Amino acid sequence: MIKRYVFGTPLETDAVLNKPAACRDKPPYLGKCENALIYKMDEEDIVYGLGENVRGMNKRGWIYESNCTDDPVHLEETKSLYGAHNFILVSGKKQFGLFLDTPGKVVFDIGYTNSSQLKIILEDGDYELYLIDGGTPDDIITWFRELIGSSYLPPKWAFGFGQSRWSYASSKEVRQVAARYRENHIPLDSIYLDIDYMERYKDFTIDREAFPDFEQLVEDMKQQGIHLIPIIDGGVKIEDGYDVYEEGVKNGFFCKDEDGDDFVVGVWPGKCHFPDMLDEKARAWFGDKYKFLLDKGIEGFWNDMNEPAIFYSEKRLKKVFEKLEEYRKMNLDVNTFFEFQDLVSTISKNPEDYRSFYHTYKGKRIRHDKVHNLFGYFMTRSAGEAFERLEPDKRILMFSRASYIGMHRYGGIWTGDNKSWWSHILLNLKMMPSLNMCGFLYSGADIGGFGADATQDLVMRWMALGIFMPLMRDHSARGTRRQEAYAFEDIEAFRGIIGLRYRLLPYLYSEFMKAALKNEMYARPLGFVWPEDRIARRVEDQLLIGESIMIAPVYEQNAVGRTVYLPEEMKLLRFHGQEVTEQRVLPAGHHFLEIPLEEVVLFIRKGCLLPLASGGENVEQVDWNQLKLYGFAEKGDSYELYDDDGVSPHVILEENLRRIVLK
């Protein structure tokens, strides 16, 4: 059951598609005090949700913010990442979901100030609250997802492995990356183009010196079964003669400052304007710009810097330089020294800057901070709506860094600038179900870590998790150690693990599409399936992927294996590379399993089947008709496989299901 409550006069976010009539009574369970909602948590309650954020699947014991933030250091003490996903699910004696629909900042104090109190503090007193209850956690998620609309569907090839780096700087380098993958027979479906493919970091341009043969490159890569995926940034460079800049200025499509002038910020290209993604006309104009690349044979994009990231504003730079002059003359003591030291870091993403520019939203002028969390969402919406106009018969790959609930209809997300840290493998795992709850099914982390230097064992262990993520991409930052699968000693092991992804594809795609089309979870916490099992409810390092399997990756350096908890009897399937080397039924309980670096284990649930293809070096080569069934099942048990042409955006679940029976 879904109930909607309206407080004040909220701004529309377009997150919810079919709004139920507003209730006049007070919401049950919750207390209200000023701009906060309060719930007294039972000791056994688990609080799931919040999509992209730090810490556990169970969010208890920390304070989080929904405030899209460009922060490349994801620590335990971090409060907000790139997305703002105001959905939580309380699971205990009472079970209910809450969605706070407001485009401004929201704080979720989940037992931080007071260990048994959940307090939701809204910066803006005008908001809508959706309360969903009367079912299991799975029911609540499905009802919530029906409310917010179906998740974005990527093309089938986007389930292949992608290689990225900031940046492959020339056509030649891209060709080399492709060649290294192909000559080593490590499967690959896409190579990402980071900002250096552009001319001076200008959206919708190509650096013709570095990429003189861009169109030919796209074509040649396609011949090798590889898609090129360019990045698009949220800011438009100020440069005379640059068409996007000039059209934006002429038509008033950029965000304005207090004086009504186009707001100036510094991002990658230097001084930029932000297209007013919230304004319908500007949004349609920006969306149409993707045509420049679609016309060159491009079939996928990643949208970046759309929190929006602000390195500096012109005004702040001036203030900071003036202040520095003051410090120059001072005798810096304990107080002033640290102020001085911190001053330069206040230039970036300064809250004052976010309060100093304006949008035209639904016909009204609105200050940015009031609608901050919508920028990335509406940038991706601008692309998504354009793709519907420009490529109505094709799925275009799209994922974004910043997001708000509602954006899940237009694209997936990647979880931003993580690091080559072991703890970030686990963070990746924990975030997946929370993202799924909010409709973000096509998502994944930068495998191997974006910042910092990676080691072979870290990338390998991360890959062993990444093969189960819908978006499987290895990405790293400029200046860090190379971490392509061929960059380390044991290429064979990488070939095996990535190859296994391609054996699993029919199952993973099938489970993804069923989850998307039925508004279900693709990756679930164990507590969803075994709510009565107190141990299972607290497992934070294992996941259920689809209906048949559970995974338990290794995420510690130098570990020879790990302890796995089985809530019930399951069948272990061990892969050495792509080959199944062990099948063994294990009883319920804890087990220590040795898992060498080059191996992957998974667990098949009782009564379930796992179809495996024979693999391929890209998605197109995978033969969906030659599937081998593995299972913890008996003759007559079956699996319902979803498959389709992988490109059509309009699919009907029932027409694409096929039952495979164990003979």
Among 45, 133, 189, 194, binds ligand GLC (CB under 6 A): 194
Nearer to ligand GLC, 166 or 468 (CB): 166
Per CB under 6 A, does 474 bind ligand GLC? Answer: no
How are beta strands 227-233 and 190-193 bridged, if at all?
A: parallel
Nearer to ligand GLC, 447 or 551 (CB): 447
Smallest distance from ligand GLC to CB 235, Å:
12
Which residue's CB atom is positioned nearest to ligand GLC?
A: 166
For residue 158, count other CB atoms closer than 10 A to its CB.
27
Q: Is 220 a catalytic residue?
A: no
Instruction: Please state the three-class secondary structure of 311-326 as a single string.
Output: CEEHHHHHHHHHHHHH
Smallest distance from ligand GLC to CB 401, Å:
6
Measure the CA–CA gap between 342 and 132, rounded to whole angstroms. 44
Smallest distance from ligand GLC to CB 450, Å:
6
Measure the CA–CA gap between 204 and 216, rounded to whole angstroms. 17
List phi, psi (to 5°) of 240: -60, 140
Nearer to ligand GLC, 413 or 602 (CB): 413
Nearer to ligand GLC, 203 or 520 (CB): 203
Among 10, 235, 416, 631, binds ligand GLC (CB under 6 A): 416
Annotate each residue in 87-126 with x if it binds ligand GLC (CB under 6 A) or - if it does not, as one string: ----------------------------------------
Per CB under 6 A, does 195 bind ligand GLC? Answer: yes
Q: Is 304 a catalytic residue?
A: yes
Per CB under 6 A, does 379 bind ligand GLC? Answer: no
* Catalytic, out of 101, 194, 417, 446: 417
Nearer to ligand GLC, 73 or 344 (CB): 73
Measure the CA–CA gap between 513 and 103, rounded to whole angstroms. 29
Angle at 313 between CA 310 and CA 317, to 5 degrees: 120
Tell the burial category of 232 from Cβ atoms under 10 Å away from its Cβ (0-12, 13-18, 19+).
buried
Of the candidates 162, 397, 441, which has an alpha carbon nearest to the alpha carbon of residue 290?
397
List phi, psi (to 5°) of 244: -65, -45
Per CB under 6 A, does 417 bind ligand GLC? Answer: yes
Annotate each residue in 234-273 with x if it binds ligand GLC (CB under 6 A) or - if it does not, as one string: ----------------------------------------
Smallest distance from ligand GLC to CB 398, Å:
15
Per CB under 6 A, does 52 bind ligand GLC? Answer: no
Smallest distance from ligand GLC to CB 547, Å:
33
* Catalytic, out of 304, 353, 511, 617: 304
Smallest distance from ligand GLC to CB 276, Å:
22
List phi, psi (to 5°) of 257: -90, -175
Measure the CA–CA gap between 411 and 409, rounded to whole angstroms. 6
Cα dist from 385 to 84, 95, 289, 552, whole Å? 21, 36, 12, 38
Smallest distance from ligand GLC to CB 166, Å:
3
Measure the CA–CA gap between 421 and 450, rounded to whole angstroms. 10
Measure the CA–CA gap between 610 and 617, rounded to whole angstroms. 21
Nearer to ligand GLC, 14 or 70 (CB): 70
Measure the CA–CA gap between 70 and 571, rounded to whole angstroms. 42
Per CB under 6 A, does 642 bind ligand GLC? Answer: no
Per CB under 6 A, does 204 bind ligand GLC? Answer: no
Of the candidates 120, 55, 117, 110, which has an alpha carbon nearest to the alpha carbon of residue 86?
120
| Element counts in the chain: helices (H) and strands (E) | 15, 40
Among 256, 372, 395, 401, binds ligand GLC (CB under 6 A): 401
Number of residues that bind ligand GLC (CB under 6 A): 10
How are beta strands 95-101 and 87-91 bridged, if at all?
A: antiparallel
* Catalytic, out of 233, 262, 307, 484: 307
Q: Is 183 a catalytic residue?
A: no
Please report, as residue ranges, which positions from 275 to 314 form the binding site for ligand GLC (by CB under 6 A): 304
Per CB under 6 A, does 166 bind ligand GLC? Answer: yes
Nearer to ligand GLC, 376 or 525 (CB): 376
Of the candidates 435, 443, 441, 444, which has an alpha carbon nearest to the alpha carbon of residue 517?
441
What is the contact surface with ligand GLC in residues (CB under 6 A)?
Answer: 166, 194-195, 231, 304, 401, 416-417, 450, 475
* Residues with a known catalytic role: 304, 307, 417
